[in-house]
Amino acid sequence: MTYDPSRPAGRLLLTPQDKDAPARVRRLRRLGLGERSEPALDAFADRLAQVAAAPYSMVNFIDEQRQFFAGLHTPDGGAGGGRLAAAAAGNELRYMARDHGFCPHVVVRRKALVLEDVCDYPRFAGNPVVDEFGVRSYLGAPLLDRSGIALGTICVVDVEPRPWGRAGLETIKAMAAELAGQLVRREEDHGI
């Protein structure tokens, strides 16, 4: 856990300590991931949103300081949908501080996370994305490479509570495994 003294008094940030971050950053750089958006990852995010029937989806790579959404889907390509879509339309959502959102928890835990209503969980209800963007529901899974490093996540979010259920959990895990397999093939094709 980290405490940020620049936050209002008493606001404890519950972003987990990430001891694997240096190794992840080296691996991401070697794979050429996490620094620019990629049409194939945007297309994957589009398909993920469709499969999950969610308004927002992301393919997220995380370094020591921030998150980068290399794949991003928003309603109407960012043309609608409130504060979250407006931020995405201006590419503000391609980068996010590491202490914003829920993906850093997924990466550190190396397990999927289902939050049907983030406000039901005190640990997550105070996350900045809840107030800043109106995020109310989250479903994410880690992208594990063949060495076992969690490179990042795939996730879907909604501005309304969502009953993701077991079907949602199984879907996000299967989609994460699919994309992880694509990343392994990319690595093999490029001799990395």
pLDDT, tens only, 59-96: 999 998 899 999 999 987 644 445 455 555 445 568 88
Q: Whole-angstrom distance between the N-terminal and C-terminal Cα of the chain? A: 34
Phi/psi at 165 (5° precision): 65, -175
pLDDT at 2 over 80: no
Closest CA to 176 of 77, 41, 16: 41
pLDDT (tens digit, 9 = 90+) per residue, 13-61?
Answer: 467 888 999 999 999 998 889 888 899 999 999 999 999 999 999 999 9
Closest CA to 131 of 108, 104, 171, 100: 100
pLDDT at 137 over 70: yes
Q: How many CB atoms lie within 10 A of CB 33?
A: 21
Residue 99, amino acid: D
139 class by beta-carbon count within 10 Å (0-12 exposed, 13-18 middle, 19+ buried) = buried
Phi/psi at 117 (5° precision): -145, 105
Token pair for residue 35?
A: 């620094």
- Global pTM value: 0.84
25 class by beta-carbon count within 10 Å (0-12 exposed, 13-18 middle, 19+ buried) = middle
Phi/psi at 144 (5° precision): -95, 125
What fold, for 2-189?
Beta-Lactamase (3.30.450)
161/5 Cα distance (integer angstroms): 31
DSSP letter assigned to residue 77 = G
Closest CA to 171 of 89, 73, 50: 50
DSSP letter assigned to residue 187 = H
Closest CA to 116 of 87, 90, 137: 137
pLDDT (tens digit, 9 = 90+) per residue, 48-57?
Answer: 999 999 999 9
